[in-house]
Chains A and B, each alone.
Chain A
Amino acid sequence: DVKVTQSSRYLVKRTGEKVFLECVQDMDHENMFWYRQDPGLGLRLIYFSYDVKMKEKGDIPEGYSVSREKKERFSLILESASTNQTSMYLCASSPTGAYNQPQHFGDGTRLSIL
Protein backbone atom coordinates (compact mmCIF):
# COMPACT_ATOMS: atom_id res chain seq x y z
CA ASP A 1 0.00 0.00 0.00
CA VAL A 2 1.24 3.47 -0.86
CA LYS A 3 2.49 5.47 2.07
CA VAL A 4 2.86 9.22 1.94
CA THR A 5 4.45 10.54 5.09
CA GLN A 6 4.44 14.17 6.15
CA SER A 7 7.03 15.01 8.74
CA SER A 8 4.77 16.85 11.19
CA ARG A 9 1.06 16.64 12.03
CA TYR A 10 1.08 19.99 13.84
CA LEU A 11 3.48 22.90 13.55
CA VAL A 12 3.50 26.35 15.10
CA LYS A 13 5.78 29.04 13.68
CA ARG A 14 6.14 32.79 13.91
CA THR A 15 5.56 35.45 11.29
CA GLY A 16 8.62 35.97 9.14
CA GLU A 17 10.17 32.57 9.80
CA LYS A 18 11.28 30.32 6.97
CA VAL A 19 9.25 27.12 7.27
CA PHE A 20 9.96 23.73 5.75
CA LEU A 21 7.28 21.05 5.31
CA GLU A 22 8.60 17.67 4.29
CA CYS A 23 6.87 14.85 2.43
CA VAL A 24 8.18 11.39 1.58
CA GLN A 25 6.51 8.67 -0.49
CA ASP A 26 7.57 5.05 -0.70
CA MET A 27 6.10 3.93 -4.03
CA ASP A 28 8.59 5.38 -6.50
CA HIS A 29 5.94 7.74 -7.86
CA GLU A 30 7.10 10.35 -10.32
CA ASN A 31 4.44 12.94 -9.52
CA MET A 32 4.18 14.76 -6.22
CA PHE A 33 1.86 17.57 -5.18
CA TRP A 34 1.35 20.11 -2.43
CA TYR A 35 -2.13 21.40 -1.61
CA ARG A 36 -3.54 23.59 1.08
CA GLN A 37 -6.95 22.84 2.53
CA ASP A 38 -9.07 25.61 4.03
CA PRO A 39 -12.67 25.38 5.28
CA GLY A 40 -15.13 26.23 2.53
CA LEU A 41 -12.39 26.45 -0.10
CA GLY A 42 -11.57 22.77 -0.59
CA LEU A 43 -8.08 21.82 -1.74
CA ARG A 44 -6.03 24.25 -3.75
CA LEU A 45 -2.88 23.25 -5.59
CA ILE A 46 0.28 25.13 -4.59
CA TYR A 47 3.04 23.37 -6.54
CA PHE A 48 3.65 20.02 -8.16
CA SER A 49 6.57 18.11 -9.58
CA TYR A 50 6.89 15.51 -12.34
CA ASP A 51 10.42 14.46 -11.61
CA VAL A 52 13.51 15.23 -9.63
CA LYS A 53 14.48 18.90 -9.83
CA MET A 54 11.33 19.70 -11.79
CA LYS A 55 8.55 21.88 -10.46
CA GLU A 56 5.41 23.53 -11.76
CA LYS A 57 3.31 26.27 -10.22
CA GLY A 58 -0.21 25.42 -9.21
CA ASP A 59 -3.07 27.80 -8.57
CA ILE A 60 -1.69 29.59 -5.50
CA PRO A 61 2.14 29.53 -5.56
CA GLU A 62 2.71 33.02 -4.14
CA GLY A 63 4.73 32.96 -0.94
CA TYR A 64 5.82 29.36 -1.43
CA SER A 65 8.62 27.47 -3.10
CA VAL A 66 9.43 23.78 -3.41
CA SER A 67 12.40 21.49 -3.64
CA ARG A 68 12.71 18.02 -5.09
CA GLU A 69 16.27 16.76 -4.85
CA LYS A 70 15.31 13.09 -4.56
CA LYS A 71 12.45 11.26 -6.20
CA GLU A 72 10.81 10.22 -2.95
CA ARG A 73 10.96 13.59 -1.21
CA PHE A 74 9.11 16.81 -1.96
CA SER A 75 9.55 19.81 0.32
CA LEU A 76 7.34 22.85 0.59
CA ILE A 77 9.02 26.06 1.75
CA LEU A 78 7.33 29.13 3.14
CA GLU A 79 9.95 31.77 2.45
CA SER A 80 8.69 34.25 5.06
CA ALA A 81 5.67 32.89 6.88
CA SER A 82 2.61 35.09 7.24
CA THR A 83 -0.57 34.62 9.22
CA ASN A 84 -2.61 34.02 6.05
CA GLN A 85 -0.59 30.88 5.49
CA THR A 86 -2.12 29.27 8.55
CA SER A 87 -3.75 26.21 7.03
CA MET A 88 -3.75 22.45 6.59
CA TYR A 89 -1.13 21.36 4.06
CA LEU A 90 -1.55 18.09 2.18
CA CYS A 91 1.05 16.24 0.17
CA ALA A 92 0.10 13.69 -2.49
CA SER A 93 1.80 11.43 -5.01
CA SER A 94 0.80 9.52 -8.13
CA PRO A 95 2.53 7.48 -10.85
CA THR A 96 3.56 9.04 -14.12
CA GLY A 97 1.09 9.46 -16.99
CA ALA A 98 -1.47 9.69 -14.26
CA TYR A 99 -4.47 11.31 -15.85
CA ASN A 100 -6.48 8.37 -14.68
CA GLN A 101 -4.54 7.32 -11.62
CA PRO A 102 -5.70 8.47 -8.21
CA GLN A 103 -3.43 10.49 -6.00
CA HIS A 104 -2.39 9.15 -2.62
CA PHE A 105 -2.43 11.62 0.23
CA GLY A 106 -0.51 12.07 3.45
CA ASP A 107 -2.17 12.80 6.79
CA GLY A 108 -1.56 16.52 6.46
CA THR A 109 0.34 19.13 8.46
CA ARG A 110 -1.73 21.65 10.37
CA LEU A 111 0.40 24.79 10.34
CA SER A 112 -0.29 27.79 12.56
CA ILE A 113 1.56 31.03 11.98
CA LEU A 114 1.48 33.36 14.99
Chain B
Amino acid sequence: EPEVTQTPSHQVTQMGQEVILRCVPISNHLYFYWYRQILGQKVEFLVSFYNNEISEKSEIFDDQFSVERPDGSNFTLKIRSTKLEDSAMYFCASGRLAESNTGELFFGEGSRLTVL
Protein backbone atom coordinates (compact mmCIF):
# COMPACT_ATOMS: atom_id res chain seq x y z
CA GLU B 1 0.00 0.00 0.00
CA PRO B 2 1.41 3.45 -0.88
CA GLU B 3 2.66 5.43 2.07
CA VAL B 4 4.15 8.77 2.98
CA THR B 5 7.79 8.49 3.95
CA GLN B 6 9.77 10.95 6.02
CA THR B 7 13.46 11.42 6.70
CA PRO B 8 15.22 11.68 9.01
CA SER B 9 13.27 9.89 11.72
CA HIS B 10 15.18 11.83 14.36
CA GLN B 11 17.41 14.88 14.10
CA VAL B 12 19.30 16.61 16.86
CA THR B 13 20.55 20.10 16.14
CA GLN B 14 21.99 23.10 17.89
CA MET B 15 19.93 26.23 18.37
CA GLY B 16 20.37 28.59 15.44
CA GLN B 17 21.17 25.86 12.94
CA GLU B 18 19.18 25.26 9.78
CA VAL B 19 17.23 22.04 9.47
CA ILE B 20 15.62 20.43 6.44
CA LEU B 21 13.01 17.75 6.92
CA ARG B 22 12.15 15.63 3.93
CA CYS B 23 9.01 13.89 2.83
CA VAL B 24 7.98 11.77 -0.10
CA PRO B 25 4.20 12.02 -0.45
CA ILE B 26 2.02 9.39 -2.09
CA SER B 27 2.66 9.67 -5.79
CA ASN B 28 -0.79 10.54 -7.14
CA HIS B 29 -1.61 12.99 -4.38
CA LEU B 30 -1.83 16.68 -5.11
CA TYR B 31 -2.06 18.31 -1.68
CA PHE B 32 0.80 18.30 0.78
CA TYR B 33 0.94 19.36 4.39
CA TRP B 34 3.19 19.81 7.35
CA TYR B 35 1.93 19.48 10.90
CA ARG B 36 3.85 19.43 14.14
CA GLN B 37 3.21 17.92 17.55
CA ILE B 38 5.06 19.09 20.61
CA LEU B 39 5.42 16.20 23.02
CA GLY B 40 2.12 15.39 24.65
CA GLN B 41 0.27 18.19 22.95
CA LYS B 42 -2.09 18.54 20.04
CA VAL B 43 -1.23 18.15 16.40
CA GLU B 44 -0.84 21.65 14.96
CA PHE B 45 -1.29 22.61 11.32
CA LEU B 46 1.67 24.45 9.82
CA VAL B 47 1.20 24.74 6.08
CA SER B 48 -0.51 23.28 3.05
CA PHE B 49 0.92 23.21 -0.45
CA TYR B 50 -0.82 22.76 -3.78
CA ASN B 51 0.16 23.40 -7.36
CA ASN B 52 3.68 24.41 -6.33
CA GLU B 53 2.64 27.08 -3.91
CA ILE B 54 1.50 27.55 -0.36
CA SER B 55 -2.29 27.43 -0.18
CA GLU B 56 -2.74 27.93 3.57
CA LYS B 57 -0.47 28.55 6.50
CA SER B 58 -0.93 28.98 10.21
CA GLU B 59 0.44 31.67 12.48
CA ILE B 60 3.14 29.22 13.55
CA PHE B 61 4.53 29.18 10.02
CA ASP B 62 6.53 32.39 10.21
CA ASP B 63 9.50 33.60 8.20
CA GLN B 64 11.75 31.00 9.79
CA PHE B 65 9.86 28.28 7.94
CA SER B 66 9.74 27.50 4.25
CA VAL B 67 8.53 24.62 2.11
CA GLU B 68 9.60 23.41 -1.27
CA ARG B 69 8.79 20.70 -3.75
CA PRO B 70 12.09 20.65 -5.59
CA ASP B 71 11.73 17.72 -7.94
CA GLY B 72 8.14 16.51 -8.22
CA SER B 73 8.51 13.79 -5.61
CA ASN B 74 10.09 15.32 -2.50
CA PHE B 75 8.42 17.85 -0.26
CA THR B 76 10.67 19.61 2.23
CA LEU B 77 10.25 21.76 5.30
CA LYS B 78 13.12 24.06 6.14
CA ILE B 79 13.58 25.79 9.46
CA ARG B 80 16.12 28.53 8.93
CA SER B 81 17.38 29.18 12.42
CA THR B 82 16.05 26.70 14.92
CA LYS B 83 14.87 27.66 18.39
CA LEU B 84 14.42 25.50 21.44
CA GLU B 85 10.65 25.70 21.04
CA ASP B 86 10.89 24.16 17.57
CA SER B 87 11.58 20.81 19.24
CA ALA B 88 8.66 18.65 18.18
CA MET B 89 7.57 15.79 15.97
CA TYR B 90 6.98 17.06 12.46
CA PHE B 91 4.49 15.17 10.34
CA CYS B 92 4.14 15.34 6.61
CA ALA B 93 0.80 14.41 5.08
CA SER B 94 -0.62 14.19 1.62
CA GLY B 95 -4.12 14.11 0.24
CA ARG B 96 -5.81 13.20 -2.99
CA LEU B 97 -8.18 15.69 -4.50
CA ALA B 98 -11.18 13.51 -5.13
CA GLU B 99 -14.38 14.79 -6.59
CA SER B 100 -15.89 14.66 -3.15
CA ASN B 101 -12.95 16.63 -1.79
CA THR B 102 -13.02 14.71 1.45
CA GLY B 103 -9.85 16.10 2.96
CA GLU B 104 -8.71 12.68 4.16
CA LEU B 105 -5.00 12.84 4.85
CA PHE B 106 -2.31 10.19 4.83
CA PHE B 107 0.44 10.83 7.35
CA GLY B 108 4.06 9.85 7.49
CA GLU B 109 5.63 8.45 10.64
CA GLY B 110 7.15 11.80 11.54
CA SER B 111 10.54 13.37 12.03
CA ARG B 112 11.46 14.09 15.60
CA LEU B 113 13.44 17.31 15.88
CA THR B 114 15.38 18.02 19.05
CA VAL B 115 16.93 21.47 19.37
CA LEU B 116 19.62 21.82 22.01
Q: Do A and B bind?
A: no
Q: Chain A residues in contact with chain B, CB under 8 A? A: none
